[in-house]
């Protein structure tokens, strides 16, 4: 059966890989993001099964735009993939003010990027989420081991109890809600211009598998969690980090 899947941050990296994986299985995917040219290119690569919506999910109006598109075009949604996010300290450090104002700014922006975008997307689409639907939120290994500034890790960790509450609220309809927490994943825009070879090697050395994660790894996990076979897995935070959190 063809499903309708909405993927935020779907134009690049993990989000694109997730959308591509669902489309390969015959599902209809809607990519959501702030950059039209990126979304248009991604949808074009995926093909006729893909559409896109330009929206800033940190704003209520953006979520309303996505919900209206989904309701008008499909009627219902089967899978919500709240992948959009990032670390503002890595993306735009030059914007951070000094002193306490800077601390407040980075905490607020990371909460907007990682928590508010997910909440707006899920809550906006929840009224049209089909029975036996799936909600996937995206955390990080940082939620377990910290992120340096505290704000990025805390914003990701905030999604863990949100998934548990969603599972409790919607479970009687066969809907599951889970969190995927990746470790280091290469070939994404997370680090902006990229990281040094030394930092990349350090991240890989932390793993037991001695390789970086890939967007395809995360897409395969997301696809399984959204499959009928994953129907008894809910309210879980599932890590994919090659053993990096466990250590040596």
pLDDT in tens, 74-130: 999 999 999 999 999 887 777 888 899 999 999 999 999 999 999 999 999 999 999
Confidence of residue 35 (pLDDT cuts 50, 70, 90): very high
First to last CA, the chain: 43
At residue 194, the pLDDT reads 67
- Distance CA(231)–CA(175), nearest Å, equals 8
Using CA atoms, how far residue 35 sits from 11, 31, 49, 221, in Å, is 8, 11, 20, 26
pTM comes to 0.95
Confidence band for 193, pLDDT divided at 50, 70 and 90: low
- Tens digits of per-residue pLDDT, 116-143? 999 999 999 999 999 999 999 999 999 9
Distance CA 121, CA 210 (A): 35
User: Whole-angstrom Cα distance, residue 106 to residue 100?
Assistant: 10
Residue 50 vs residue 195, higher pLDDT: 50
pLDDT attached to residue 144: 95
Neighbours of 208 (CB within 10 A): 12
């Amino acid at each position: 059966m063809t499903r309708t899947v909405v993927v935020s941050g779907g134009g690049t990296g993990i989000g694109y890989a997730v959308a591509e994986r669902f489309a390969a299985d015959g599902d209809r995917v809607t990519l959501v993001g702030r950059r039209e040219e990126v979304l248009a290119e991604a949808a074009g690569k995926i093909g006729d099964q893909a559409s896109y919506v330009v929206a800033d999910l940190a704003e209520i109006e953006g979520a309303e735009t996505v919900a209206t598109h989904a309701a008008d075009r499909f009627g219902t949604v089967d899978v919500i993939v709240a992948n959009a996010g990032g670390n503002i300290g890595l993306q735009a450090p030059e914007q951070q003010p000094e002193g306490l104002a800077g601390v407040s700014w980075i905490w607020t922006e990371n909460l907007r990027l990682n928590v508010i975008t997910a909440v707006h997307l899920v809550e906006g689409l929840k009224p049209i989420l089909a029975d036996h639907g799936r909600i996937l939120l995206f955390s990080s290994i940082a939620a377990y081991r910290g992120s340096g500034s505290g704000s990025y890790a805390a914003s990701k960790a905030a999604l863990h109890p949100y998934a548990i509450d969603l599972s409790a609220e919607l479970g009687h309809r066969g809907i599951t809600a889970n969190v995927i927490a990746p470790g280091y994943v290469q070939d994404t825009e997370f680090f902006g211009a990229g990281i040094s070879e030394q930092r990349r090697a350090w991240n890989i050395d932390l793993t037991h598998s001695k390789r970086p994660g890939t967007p395809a790894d995360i897409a395969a996990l997301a696809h399984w969690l959204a499959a009928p076979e994953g129907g008894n897995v809910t309210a879980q935070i599932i890590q994919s980090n090659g053993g990096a959190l466990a250590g040596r």
